[in-house]
Amino acid sequence: MHEFSLALEVISLAEREAEKNKVNAVQEISIEVGDLSGVEADAFESALELLVKDSILENAEIRIVRTAGKGKCIACNQEFEMSHRMAVCPKCLCFPSEISGGEEFRVLSLLVE
């Protein structure tokens, strides 16, 4: 379960940024998790909620922003949403030639006091 180690890294990043900017508390953190990122968003959120105790994020509102996967069909040039990497084009049933979204995993913002 790599979501646990990713949660630890997010907490560490928030603590480093808070220290660098000389702030004592984070009010809110927003994290983008793409459907094709390989990160199970619910497991990551649960791990983060367990690990924030006694950290800079203990009282912060945690916002997980889910991003749908997006692909472009090699055959008909149709752009479409993908819930998994093996999704096929809804128009012609071919596999996408390009994945153009949903692979993101990043901290979008930290709102500090």
The pLDDT value recorded for residue 85 is 85
Backbone conformation region of residue 38, classed left if phi is above 0, alpha if psi is from -120 to 50, else beta: left
C-alpha–C-alpha distance, residues 52 and 39, integer Å = 19
Residue ranges in the chain whose pLDDT is less than 50: none
- Domain residues of the chain, as ranges? 2-112
Helices (H), the chain: 2-20, 41-51
Q: What architecture is domain 2-112?
A: 2-Layer Sandwich (3.30)
Quote the pTM value: 0.86
pLDDT for the residue numbered 77: 92
